[in-house]
Amino acid sequence: MTQVAVVMGSKSDWPIMKQTVELLTQLGITYEKHVISAHRMPDQLQNFGKQAQDKGLQVIIAGAGGAAHLPGMLAANTVIPVIGVPIQTRALNGLDSLLSIVQMPSGIPVATVAIGEAGAKNAAILAAQIVGLSSENVTSLLQKFRQQQTQASIESEADLV
Ligand code: RP5
């Protein structure tokens, strides 16, 4: 069964959301990816959210930019955790996306990560931490990822020339 769904509001979000799926792969997580626009595909959005739990999905990662309703509306249609990735925009640099995603009214949470690339990567790691609660393989790959990251930081000191 697929563990995580990566959903984006537009094909134009893919260069950022691609970084999410690359990290999910590294962390041993099975995923599916979809373009579902909150504004252009409202019926598809609702159907996807309502079917997510029955499909066995454990987490949805949703990336969107501008008036970014996708993560919040997915969260409104399911009880599985939704992680929102604010996509950087040309007009407002992604501050619009961030505020649209993070300022959910009480009752329907969206776990919101940083704007752009850092957020896309952290969304994958956070999803792995959730999936890892019931998967030893994912937890062990997460620990390996952390160790490699620590080692790279330690070794980076040698570059200070
Ligand atoms: C949002 O509108 C998408 O998530 C995207 O970030 C933004 C712009 O979409 P396009 O006009 O590039 O399709 O729904």
The ipTM (two decimal places) reads 0.97
Contact 89, 65 (CB under 8 A): yes
CA distance linking residue 91 with residue 132, whole number of Å: 37
Q: What is the pLDDT of residue 54?
A: 98
The 10s digit of each residue's pLDDT in 101-135 is 999 999 999 999 999 999 999 999 999 999 999 99
Which CATH number characterizes residue 129's domain? Answer: 3.40.50.1970
Cα–ligand 1 centroid distance for 61 (angstroms): 16
The 10s digit of each residue's pLDDT in 26-58 is 999 999 999 999 999 999 999 999 999 999 999
Residue located nearest, by CA, to atom 9 of ligand 1: 10
Q: Work out how many domains the chain is built from and give that number.
A: 1
Q: With a 6 A CB cut-off, is 10 part of the ligand 1 pocket?
A: yes
Of 6, 13, 115, the residue with max ligand 1 atoms within 8 A of its CB, to mutate for a pocket test, comes to: 13
pTM of the model: 0.97
The helix (H) or strand (E) run that includes residue 124 is helix 117-131
Domain range enclosing 103: 4-159
Amino acid (1-letter code) at residue 52: A
The 10s digit of each residue's pLDDT in 52-70 is 999 999 999 999 999 999 9
Q: How far is CA 152 from CA 29, 139, 149, 157, in A?
A: 23, 20, 5, 9
CA distance linking residue 49 with residue 66, whole number of Å: 21
Q: With a 6 A CB cut-off, is 66 part of the ligand 1 pocket?
A: yes
